Chains A and B, each alone.
Chain A
Amino acid sequence: MATAKRKRVSVRASDRPDPWMIAAVGLLVVAGLLFVLDTTYFFSRQTYGDSYRMFIKHVVSVVLGGALMFGLSRCRSDLLERAAPWLLMGSLLLLCLPLMPGVGNCTHGACRWIALGPVNLQPGELVKWTFVVFAAAVLAAHGAHGPGWKREVAIVGLLLAVITTLLMRQPDFGTTVLIGGLGMGMLLIAGLPAAWLVAMGTAGAAAAAAAIALEPYRVRRVLAFLSPDADPLGSNWQLNKSLITFGSGRWTGVGLGSSRLKTGWLPEAHTDFIFSVVGEETGILGAGVLLLCFCLLAQRGFRIAYRHPDRYGQLLAAGLTMALTMQALLNMGVVLGLLPTKGMALPFVSYGGSSMLFSLACVGVLMSLSRELRER
């Protein structure tokens, strides 16, 4: 495997994608539909005068994402490998667009969106996907250009630096951290020696610390995270409300639709903090089921990676799985107050078209990879 590319086995229509993964993702998407309707109902009526407007948008992105997923699940992974550099170039170009005046669309002081008529595209979500697709291709080629890891480390490191710089200009700290972690994870899985990893990790941590220290609101968030009881009306407002919301659900929750804090008390209840509302309305039971779904997704994704006959497929499956589960766990960690607050959606569940689209795209690729598995 290390020397030359193997002849790929063609995908046959009779090969079914992994049913467990479909079940886990299906459950998450259904839960997402439920809770998005629940949490946007009032907010949508307030902003648009139509209680269902945001929900319908969400349904549309689920349908589009589903189509994308279906299409990608029919697509052979070696095609993706060949398209990887072009996909990356395209997404990096898109990543520049929000920074251009007139094209970018800013809310809450962050310019993360490209205005495309009625919809806004968030290229940060796309980049996560193309980064994994490209990095897997680079790492799969390890050994073809001689021994050692200099080339791989150089390419991935440079790519990370470029993406990080662009993302921090928006700024989008959450996605930056995620992509940094993703890069490290993929290098680790690809077999990078520990010494390299430690060196890169130290560099990344130093960069992150610098990024925090240079921006006052990030310093406040970290300080707030370190002393959660100080300043409950200021920087800890959101976290406080999130903990109250989640905690008041107890074991089985206050009942679907009965959330008390969703009506304005909990900021971003339909996007980044939707998991609190899940906790409030369905208790630790419902929240645990969602966590379990992501664990199942990780298990199935890593199983596909382990069983895939081809080096690129292995790395791609592991990378996409990490992208989805790491983001989910980071989001939950923020909601539950284990990590400092940063903007990050819960895949499949949160309101937001781009996130839904590319999360389902990841699943589509994973499905296609799962169809290429052969009994060994």
Chain B
Amino acid sequence: MTDRSRFGRRLAFVGSCLGIFALALLARMFTLTALEGEHRADKAQRLTCSETALVSFRGRVVDRNGATLAASLSTRSISRSSTKYRYDPSHAALLAPVLGLERGRVDGLLKGKPGRFQWLARRVSLDVAAAASRLGIVGLEVHTSQSEIQRRIYPQGRLASHVVGHTNSYSVAMEGVELEFDEYIKGKPVSVRVCRDIHKRPFYNESDLAGVNWGDTVQLTLDSNLQSIAARELAASLEEFDAQSGSVVIVEPSTGNVLAMVSLPDYDSNSPWLSDPAERRNRAVTDNFEPGSTMKPFLVAAALDSGVVSEEDSFFCEDGLWRYGGRPIHDYHPHGDLLVPEIIKYSSNICSAKIGVELGAERLHDYLERFGFGARSGVRLPGEVRGQLAAAASWRPVRLANISFGQGMGSTALQLAVGYATLANGGVRMKPRLVKTVVAADGTVKVPDEAVVEGRAVSEEVAASVTAMLESVVEPGGTALRAAVDGVRVAGKTGTAQQIGEDRTYVNGWWASVFAGYLPADDPRLAMAVVVNRPVRNHFGGVVSAPVFRRIAESGLDYLKIRRDQPREEKPVMVRLRRRVRPQAEQEGGKDLMPDLEGLSMRSAMRMLDGCDCDIAAQGSGYVADQQPAAGTRLAAATPVWLQLLPELQP
């Protein structure tokens, strides 16, 4: 048996060698999984990013002065994990200040539906996300997927929302310039690895996101201040006349730059889902209306340019009723003989029709096309319509007569503004444009700042004489005295046309009140079309739309520092040059009295009012021009304080 026991000893030796190695393996497994497992699991997660996605951060949209209209923020989202999170009442107190939410609300989010996934904050800034994850709460997740890494913001909200457009929550362009210039704004997408967590939810690696490009900056020709002025005045008019909708387009005649494009009602680009489709429509380019009498200048310009009539010719206006082509044509005020300029001034339909008949369908159609009617302007906005201008061959005599005074055809507000800008620009039509330049993040210019000439519509002399006629419209005796601006010569024309309903006939009481014009007439800087749809209290273009034109022009001229011949006497808008703020203590009367804020910047004014328990409202931008209550008034708690700010002006 010694052999067997020796054999047994040797077997035991080999067995224990194997056993020791097995124990070493077990120890190694323990260190790999239990001690370093988390680290290795992280590595595995970083490794297993087998998909890719194209990602880019959207560039900015700015106005012509560089003010931001749309921008993207780099963001993260924070959620509560479905499996790892364990509720603790102390978490809400930690998280609420970081997320900037109410404590009770955060507590509710953390507590409710345990074991379910729950968003805590969507698309918050990187700082907030970092601060939240630094709290060390187990089960809080920071998300970096396509929909969570950027947020589109529109600092101006409703201002120019139709032009700028909006994106959906995935930062995908949906409307406006955002959509039309998406290829630039979106930038060059970078391929980023898409990783999946254990629940197959996608996420991106932070290191990959650091290399993602920003899109190009699109600079619009819009001027936020003019846009704001136009929107304010149009809204006031809609309110005053209980109108359904309206639009204003301001074009710079020499360049075709669209300085303002307002469509009301409007919506907030930050929350497009809260609005109706009707509010999201950019009426200035998508809506046709019958331009009515505002077409007469183009008719006269065509007739003069083609030599069919001269300024000295006169026409008999049939004392208010003329039958032509089997249909009656009326004038609102009956006239006898009128010279051509007077036809414009008094807006006679009958004499316009007679000029149209002299001119003929072919030539009128040709000239209207030259002014830009019946074709898309090419301003590059989604949904722009062509307007309505039937082929000349199909015009029966009554159609020719109607089109002569702007009926039986359709125009957009933009087309009308472009037509007037053409007259203002000495007969040369510029292509309207909304985008001035596109500049990449590295400074390279993608789209240069170039005005495009579309062609000459009429000769310079004709444009000048039509301008003179249009000036007479705004003079006493004309139809648009309410469009007159002190100290500046204004050229313009009213228009009032019935609107067509769904049954394709005119609807009683549905009017489009139109005013179009430009100023200063001797050196036009602004061409403007104002359209108010379905006003209730009054419907004449000269009553409803002309004052809008005047008010926008007044504020606009001041803002643009366009010199007027005589300063208005009743209310000087001159603002003292910048004033430096004096310390509170030096103010006479102490802090209970309203200080004199005139000429101060908003920031300084706020400093002066610091410690006053009053309700401050400010209008406009720039420096304080007017204040309510007056300096020296005693301020009680919650006194309403109103400040009017205007841009700095030369005295």
Interface residues of A (CB under 8 A from B): 1-2, 185, 188-189, 191, 241, 243-251, 254, 258, 260-261, 263-265, 279-280, 283-284, 287-288, 291, 294-295, 298-299, 302, 305-306, 314, 318, 322, 325-326, 329, 332-333, 336-338
Contact in complex: A2, B7 (CB < 8 Å): no
Residue B452 at the chain A interface, CB threshold 8 Å: no
The interface residues of chain A lying within 8 Å CB-to-CB of B32 are 243, 246-247, 279, 336
Contact in complex: A298, B25 (CB < 8 Å): no
- Bound together, the chains give a CA A267 to CA B279 distance in angstroms of 59
Contact in complex: A298, B29 (CB < 8 Å): no
Contact in complex: A248, B43 (CB < 8 Å): yes
Contact in complex: B29, A279 (CB < 8 Å): yes
**Contacts A248-B40, A250-B34, A260-B44 given; 11 further ones with Cβ under 8 A?**
A1-B3, A188-B14, A246-B40, A249-B33, A265-B48, A291-B26, A291-B29, A299-B15, A306-B11, A318-B14, A322-B18
Contact in complex: A283, B11 (CB < 8 Å): no
Contact in complex: A338, B28 (CB < 8 Å): yes
Interface bin, chain B: 35 or more
With A254-B198, A263-B50 in contact, is A247–B14 under 8 Å at CB? no
User: Could you write out 21 A-B pairs with CB less than 8 Å apart?
Assistant: A2-B3, A188-B13, A188-B14, A241-B47, A246-B33, A247-B40, A248-B41, A249-B33, A260-B45, A279-B33, A280-B44, A283-B33, A284-B30, A284-B33, A291-B25, A306-B7, A329-B22, A336-B28, A336-B32, A337-B28, A338-B24
Residue B369 at the chain A interface, CB threshold 8 Å: no
Residue B607 at the chain A interface, CB threshold 8 Å: no
Contact in complex: A191, B10 (CB < 8 Å): yes
Contact in complex: A329, B30 (CB < 8 Å): no
Interface residues of B (CB under 8 A from A): 3-4, 6-8, 10-11, 13-15, 18-19, 21-22, 24-26, 28-30, 32-34, 36-41, 43-45, 47-48, 50, 198
B418 to chain A, nearest CB (A): 60
- Bound together, the chains give a CA A295 to CA B15 distance in angstroms of 9
Contact in complex: A250, B26 (CB < 8 Å): no
Contact in complex: B25, A332 (CB < 8 Å): yes
Interface of A is mostly: helix
Contact in complex: B22, A295 (CB < 8 Å): yes
Contact in complex: A191, B6 (CB < 8 Å): yes
With A249-B33, A250-B41 in contact, is A189–B25 under 8 Å at CB? no
B341 to chain A, nearest CB (A): 84
The interface residues of chain A lying within 8 Å CB-to-CB of B21 are 329, 333
Q: Tell me which of A189, A283, A326 contacts B10 (CB under 8 A).
A: A189
Contact in complex: A336, B29 (CB < 8 Å): yes
B222 to chain A, nearest CB (A): 51
The interface residues of chain A lying within 8 Å CB-to-CB of B6 are 191
Q: Which of B3, B38, B44 has the most CB of A within 10 A?
A: B44
Sort A-B residue pairs by CB-CB distance and give the 7 closest, nearest first. A247-B40, A248-B41, A248-B44, A260-B48, A247-B32, A250-B37, A284-B33
Q: Tell me which of B4, B19, B37, B50 contacts A247 (CB under 8 A).
A: B37
B409 to chain A, nearest CB (A): 66
Contact in complex: B33, A338 (CB < 8 Å): no
- Bound together, the chains give a CA A260 to CA B33 distance in angstroms of 16
Closest to A246 in B: B32
Closest to A189 in B: B10
The interface residues of chain A lying within 8 Å CB-to-CB of B198 are 254, 258
- Bound together, the chains give a CA A258 to CA B41 distance in angstroms of 13
Contact in complex: B47, A261 (CB < 8 Å): yes
- Bound together, the chains give a CA A336 to CA B15 distance in angstroms of 21
The interface residues of chain B lying within 8 Å CB-to-CB of A302 are 11, 14-15
Q: Which of B18, B39, B50 has the most CB of A within 10 A?
A: B18
The interface residues of chain B lying within 8 Å CB-to-CB of A279 are 29, 32-33
Q: Tell me which of A185, A244, A299 contacts B14 (CB under 8 A).
A: A185
Contact in complex: B44, A244 (CB < 8 Å): yes
B30 to chain A, nearest CB (A): 7
B24 to chain A, nearest CB (A): 7
The interface residues of chain B lying within 8 Å CB-to-CB of A258 are 198
Contact in complex: B40, A244 (CB < 8 Å): yes
Contact in complex: A244, B47 (CB < 8 Å): yes
Closest to A184 in B: B14
B537 to chain A, nearest CB (A): 71
